[in-house]
Each structure stands twice: as structure tokens, then as C-alpha cells.
A and B are shown apart, each in its own frame.
Chain A
Amino acid sequence: QDQLVQSGAEVKKPGASVNVSCRASGYRLSTYGLTWVRQAPGHGPEWMGWIGIKNGDIKYAQKFQARVTMSIDTSTITAYMEVRSLRSDDTAVYYCARCLSSFGLYGMDVWGQGTTVTVSS
């Protein structure tokens, strides 16, 4: 069964960085695209960015461009997302999700279980 397994919950202080991992199981990571989405408490999902693994293309939502880096380690079939200069409003559940196409942003058919990141002093 195709799965995405994410790293565990994190508690960080304002100004720190966090690295969330997302490991693919049961399928070839390079065949699909991968999206990162976050959801703040009581809010809807917010699209953060996408990696087209086949061609190495990466798209970031403009609001995250300066503070977020997405990457892939194909040898370990793991995707990573680093968020720097954390603020209290970065407190959210962070999800990775597989896209049906290696080129398109649509059709997120497999989701990770989510990683809770809490930013608090």
C-alpha cells in the first residue's frame, strides 16, 4: 500500500528552524509530484509548495519563498521541508501529499499523517 510517513511532532522557539521529513513507502517517489500543505488550528489547508521530482522543478507559494526550502533525497526516497525564522503563526500541522502527476499540482491522492509543529517561547 502506498504511504507517506512523516517525522514526529516538534516544539520550537520563535526564530528557530524546523525540518520535516516525508518518506515514501510502496511506490517510486520519482514517478509523482509532491506537495506540502499546512493547516493552522481551526483553519483550512494552505498550499506551501510543490516538487516535480522527475524534472527537479520546485514551486513555492510567494509567502513562503524566503523562509522555506523543499528538497528530495532520492537515495532514501525521502522529501524534506525546512522552515526557518519560525513565528507563532507557523504553529500548524504540516502535511506532505503525493500528486497524481509528476508535472501537475493536482490530485493529491496519498497524504502523510501530518507533523504538528508548535512555535512557542
Chain B
Amino acid sequence: DIVMTQSPLSLPVTPGEPASISCRSSQSLLHSNGYNYLDWYVQKPGQSPQLLIYLASNRASGVPARFSGSGSGTYFTLQIRRVEAEDVGIYYCMQGLQSPGTFGQGTKVEIK
């Protein structure tokens, strides 16, 4: 199975400041079709996970432009341009290249 490793595991943030989460995979997520099969999800307290970014850099429908994803191969980053209070939650990366899909451990984002 592909192992996903996130850092940091805890991220205190100040509203209005940028934030960044990294995710590494134990194998390349770059398919021969040129796409990297890496998603980002956020789970807010008491809710189902929500898709933020798919195929490494594509924002899902309705996701604010302050969220962006980048990276290729085995290293990926989720960036929040200016954090807002509503962004608190646990952020997960997940690889969808091969079965079984695997999630990172999660990064808890909280307001300072």
C-alpha cells in the first residue's frame, strides 16, 4: 500500500496569515497520463469530509480561491493564502492512484 505522510500534524494559525501543509507519498502518484492522483480533504467538527483539491491542483466546485494545491510525484502542498476562522478543521491528503486509496494522518488546523 502507498503510505501518505503529512506534516505538520498540528498547525496553529493566525487569521489573515498564510498556512501550508505538506504531504509525501511512499511512491510516485504521477500517472502516465500526466495527472498526479492526490486529493486534499478537510473535515470540520461533526461533519463529513469535504473535497478541496483533486488531481493535486484542481479546486473542487465551490472551494474558495484562497485554497491551492501544488506538487508532483511524491511531494505535495496545500496552501491557504489567508486563513479565515471557518478554515479550522482536520486536513487530509489522500492518494487515488491505486487501490487501496490511502489517507495521510491528518493535520489539525486551529486558530491561535
Contact = CB atoms under 8 A, between A and B. Distances in A.
Nearest to B101: A47
Contacts of B37: 104-106
Interface residues of B, number: 27
Interface in A52-87: 59-62
A104 B51 CA distance: 15
Nearest to B102: A47
A77 B66 CA distance: 36
Given A44-B92, A45-B92, A107 B101 contact: no
A25 to B, nearest CB: 15
Interface string A84-121: 00000000000101011000111111011110000000
Contact of A61 (B41, B55, B99): B99
Nearest to A47: B101
Contact of A107 (B96, B98, B102, B105): B96
A31 B49 CA distance: 22
Contacts of B61: 109
B60 interface: yes
B50 interface: yes
Contact of A45 (B49, B54, B96, B99): B49
A46 B101 CA distance: 8
Interface of A: 35, 37, 44-47, 49-50, 59-62, 95, 97, 99-100, 104-109, 111-114
29 contacts: A44-B106, A45-B41, A45-B49, A47-B102, A60-B99, A61-B99, A62-B100, A97-B49, A99-B96, A105-B96, A105-B97, A105-B98, A105-B101, A106-B37, A106-B39, A106-B54, A106-B94, A106-B96, A106-B97, A106-B101, A107-B54, A107-B55, A107-B60, A108-B49, A109-B51, A109-B60, A109-B61, A111-B49, A111-B50
